[in-house]
């Protein structure tokens, strides 16, 4: 039992580091877009390899725990959750790279780049969700997990509004279609990051309560009945 707890603490420490790396990558990708900083975009792309390597290392540690200790109950749920969260964090890192790539093209574009006003709100909300999902994972905080989960519908609505606004702008200004498509791509990648943050929050609820809440409607308390 002592060896199991030691290995679980090590995995917990590693997933915290992974979460911090991914959060930093997302923040840099967003800043590279908002501030037209190609240097930050390049940093994100170059740092992706480190995130990939850590994902593999954490997965190997989790599989080792399952093989050597055969954990049960809450310990088993925790290891399964870390495996899933580890994969979701790596995918967030990939999406940060995608945003950075779009940012690089936008910074080099000769076209006018128009950022819809809703994009700034979306950026801030996604940042909060990423920070919140990592915090609720580290603290195993179910209240925070439900809070993160409730934010997802607003992100979906902002993504829809941005799509409609950019689409309308392209109709009236066809000379900026390329840069507008890049902006739409960034919005879509942000929306996917929010989805993954929601997945992590739901996995935290599963770890703590053993309750699978994925695919349930999101009430104001985050705990409404199954669809």
In the 3-class helix/strand/coil scheme, how is the chain assigned residue by residue? CHHHHHHHHHHHHHHHHHHHHHHHHHHHHHHHHHCCCHHHHHHHHHHHHHHHHHHHHHHHHHHHHHHHHCCCHHHHHHHHHHHHHHHHHHHHHHHHHHHHHHHHHHHHCCCCCCCCHHHHHHHHHHHHHHHHHHHHHHHCCHHHHHHHHHCHHHHHHHHHHHHHHHHHHHHHCHHHHHHHHHHHHHHHHHHHHHHHHHHHHHHHHHHHHCCCCCCECCCCCCCCCEC
Residue 226 backbone dihedrals phi, psi, to 5 degrees: -65, 150
Cα angle: 103, vertex 107, 110; to 5 degrees: 130
Evaluate if residue 223 carries a pLDDT over 70. no
| pLDDT for res 214 | 80
pLDDT band, residue 219 (cuts 50/70/90): low
pLDDT band, residue 195 (cuts 50/70/90): very high
| pLDDT for res 177 | 87
| pLDDT for res 227 | 33
Crossing angle between the packed helical segments 73-108 and 2-34, to the nearest 10 degrees: 20
In whole angstroms, give the CA distance from residue 202 to residue 129.
13
Handedness of CA 28, 30, 31, 35 (dihedral sign): positive
Max Cα-Cα span within the chain: 67
pLDDT band, residue 226 (cuts 50/70/90): very low
Per the prediction, the chain carries an average pLDDT of 91
Evaluate if residue 191 carries a pLDDT over 80. yes
Lowest mean pLDDT among 130-134, 143-147, 221-225: 221-225
**CB proximity list for 75: less than 8 A, separation 6 or greater:** 4, 8, 69
- Residue 21 half-sphere exposure, CB side, CA atoms within 13 Å? 24
> What would the pLDDT profile of 11-57 be if each residue is shown by its tens digit?
999 999 999 999 999 999 999 988 889 999 999 999 999 999 999 99
Task: Work out the average pLDDT over 78-87.
Answer: 94
Domains and their CATH numbers in the chain: 2-209 (1.20.58.220)
How many percent of the chain have pLDDT more than 70? 95
Evaluate if residue 103 carries a pLDDT over 60. yes
| pLDDT for res 218 | 64
**CB proximity list for 223: less than 8 A, separation 6 or greater:** 146, 213
Task: Work out the average pLDDT over 190-211.
Answer: 94
């Amino acid at each position: 039992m002592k060896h199991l707890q030691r290995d679980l603490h090590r995995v917990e420490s590693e997933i915290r580091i992974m979460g911090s790396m991914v959060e930093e990558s997302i923040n840099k990708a967003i800043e590279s877009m908002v501030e037209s900083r190609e240097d930050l975009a390049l940093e994100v792309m170059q740092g992706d390899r480190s995130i990939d390597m850590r994902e593999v290392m954490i997965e190997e540690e989790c599989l080792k725990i399952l093989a050597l200790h055969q954990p049960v109950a809450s310990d088993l749920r925790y290891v399964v959750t870390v495996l899933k969260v580890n994969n979701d964090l790596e995918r967030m890192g990939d999406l940060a790279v995608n945003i950075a790539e779009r940012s690089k093209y936008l910074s080099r574009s000769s076209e006018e780049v128009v950022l819809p006003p809703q994009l700034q709100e979306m950026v801030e909300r996604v940042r909060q969700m990423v920070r919140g999902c990592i915090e609720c994972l580290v603290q195993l905080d179910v209240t925070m997990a439900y809070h993160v989960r409730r934010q997802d519908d607003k992100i979906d609505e902002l993504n829809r509004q941005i799509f409609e606004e950019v689409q309308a702008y392209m109709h009236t200004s066809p000379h900026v279609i390329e840069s507008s498509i890049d902006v739409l791509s960034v919005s879509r990648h942000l929306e996917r990051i929010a989805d993954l943050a929601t997945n992590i929050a739901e996995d935290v609820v599963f770890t703590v309560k053993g309750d699978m809440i994925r695919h349930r409607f999101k009430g104001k308390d985050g705990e409404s009945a199954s669809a």
